[in-house]
Chains A and B, each alone.
Chain A
Amino acid sequence: MAKIEKGSWVEIKQVVLQPEERAQNLPEDTKQTPYVMRMSGFLTADAELGDTVTIRSLIGREHEGTLVTLNPSYSHSFGPTMAELLHIGIDEEAK
């Protein structure tokens, strides 16, 4: 696997609580899943995906977790056009 260089902007993942360690009174579906944290930061040493690594966050705190993404990005969008919305306001309300 390709080496990811120290200083790269990466995302880590960490299981915070296993299902059996979780809070009481959770709905059945949630109870069966682990409680997971993800966060982004700068990698503190060279590593590969899947390694346990340490990152330094934007405010300088260090966190440990499994390296899951190199250069995590935001790709959320406006989504595919919902034609239903386009009709609103051009018909009788606007006249």
Chain B
Amino acid sequence: MSQRDNSYAAVMARSNEIMKASVGMDYDDYVISPIAFDYERMMHDTGYTHAEIVKIQSETKVGNTPLFELKRLTEAVRKISEPGKGARILLKDEAANASGSFKARRAALSVFEAARKGFKGVVAATSGNYGAAVASQANQRDLKCIVIQEVFDSRGVGQPEIIEKGRKCEAYGAEVIKLTVGPELFYIHLLTLEQTGFFNASLYTPFGIRGVETLGTEIAEEVRIRYGKDPDAVIITHAGGGNLTGTARGLLAAGADKTRIVACSVDLSGLHMASDTDFNKKSFTTGHTGFGVPFATWPDRADVPRNAARSMRYMDEYQLVTQGEVFFVTELLTKLEGIERGPAGNTSLTAAITMARQMDRDQIVVVQETEYTGAGKHHNSQLSFARENGIKVYVGDPAENVPGKTIVLPERLDQVRGKAQDLESLKLSYLRNAARRHPVQAWTDEDISFLAQDIKSTPEWVRANLPTD
């Protein structure tokens, strides 16, 4: 192994063979063209039934989390809504999973699969809650775990939330490789997979996505039992697309096909995700538009050849919220509902306030996750760090939020408004990205059918909107 050329270019050139060995599946089996592939067959071939996934997760302290009705927050929203408006807000308390977030669902199936296939360890490349989730699951299945994180800028400064996530991985006994800002994390990831022969517990394999399906089915089943109907809308924090894809698939599997699937991201437009100086100017490390928009408009940019997280297949709406609005709502959740949860997990709760105001009182909107909180992973940590890094933090009109420059905490609940992201423009952007990978002239009927399904549209719409440049 040590004789191999481990230069950046050489390792990147071995990407496909490393991936094939480390995921234990051959993506070539599903490829139809440079853009199209057999998505449903790939998901089906994971070989797990819903009941088996539930059992696997229950063995390692995952799933069956509480679904809380947020009565005081719902009341507060009704007070600022038009008569007859103000949907009931429910919250799925995913912080109750082992390791404190919904990511345990994704990790549970991946780590189980790794153990089943005889791998000695797992590798996850993530600065998010997923690292701790994989480490926690690996402990329970007696596997070794390596987490590769983008942690700090060139000064060696890391924002408190990421530092906390690194601490948690190390607390579970994982080896944590901490890196400065840059996409070369993928290089380290490949090198680590090759050197160890461990399983690639990518967020974007079919296992990583199918593990989230139980979240969707739990929501559908519990809302039916308690309220005698399906949820009208489920709001899902969106970054790489796995949370949305898995939850939506679970809802559909449970027959909740009328439920609106609403994506939500923190608006960080204007900040460059690979910029050393912008790195510590953002208070959210995930669940933001810096991942949400690129992954929606082209999912196949992940650490696997074909991404199983394909958010636009399921998305009905996309709401954007500001950092200040999320911090405000995080504090409000604590004060009104008596539970402290991490701010990143409250992104979708923030959008729920806007949504609930527009929906009828007899409707139900479900916020499908929470995450744990503590030092570093707390809105006070985030805001004080932002202020130390030159961000202006003040109370006022959240419309004045400028990512990287200001964080404006709303004065009142009725200023929590968010804004809708235009889905049509994202779909057009998706088609342009597809055209970059495979020229439009070469698109077959099968390609067009794939693209249409991949953005929840029709072949006619795709044909009417073919990219021209």
Please tell me if the beta carbons of B385 and A38 are within 8 angstroms of each other in the complex.
no
Q: Which residues of A contact B276 (CB under 8 A)?
A: 27, 29-30, 33
Check A76/B180 contact, CB under 8 A, given A84-B409, A88-B328: no
Q: Does B393 sit at the interface, judged by CB under 8 A?
A: yes
Q: Is the CB of B384 within 8 A of A79?
A: yes
> Do A59 and B144 form a contact, CB below 8 Å, given A27-B272, A27-B275, A30-B276?
yes
Q: Is A45 in contact with chain B by the CB < 8 A criterion?
A: no
**Nearest CB of B to A28, in Å:** 9
For chain A residues 59-85, which have a beta carbon within 8 Å of chain B?
59-61, 74, 76-82, 84-85
CB <8 Å contact, A39 and B154? no
Q: Is B190 an interface residue (CB 8 A)?
A: no
Contact A89 B184 (CB under 8 A): no
Partner of A39, one of B178, B182, B183, B387: B178
Known: A35-B179, A77-B381. A58 touches B336 (CB 8 A): no
Taking a contact as CB atoms under 8 Å apart, the answer to whether A40 and B413 are in contact is no
Q: How many A-B residue pairs have CB under 8 A?
A: 147
Report A-chain residues with C-beta under 8 Å of the C-beta of B393. Answer: 82, 84
Interface 0/1 of B403-415, CB less than 8 Å to A? 0000001001100
Per-residue B-contact encoding for A1-24, CB less than 8 Å = 1, 0 else: 000000000000000110001110
Contact in complex: A76, B409 (CB < 8 Å): no
Residue B177 lies at the interface, judged by CB distance under 8 Å to chain A: yes
Task: Give the distance to chain A from B193, nearest Cβ to Cβ, in Å.
Answer: 13
Minimum C-beta distance from A35 to chain B (A): 5
Segment touching A, from B36-44, B168-176, B262-270, B435-443: B168-176
Judging by beta carbons under 8 Å apart, are B175 and A76 in contact?
Answer: no
Interface contact A78-B182, CB-CB below 8 Å: no
Asked if B175 contacts A36 (CB within 8 A), the reply is no
Q: Which of A27, A29, A85 contacts B380 (CB 8 A)?
A: A85
- In the complex, besides A34-B180, A77-B381, A78-B381, 15 extra interface pairs with C-beta distance below 8 angstroms are A16-B184, A17-B184, A23-B8, A26-B182, A27-B278, A29-B276, A30-B275, A39-B177, A59-B175, A61-B146, A77-B376, A78-B375, A80-B384, A89-B335, A93-B332
Interface residues of A (CB under 8 A from B): 16-17, 21-23, 26-27, 29-30, 33-41, 57-61, 74, 76-82, 84-85, 87-90, 92-94
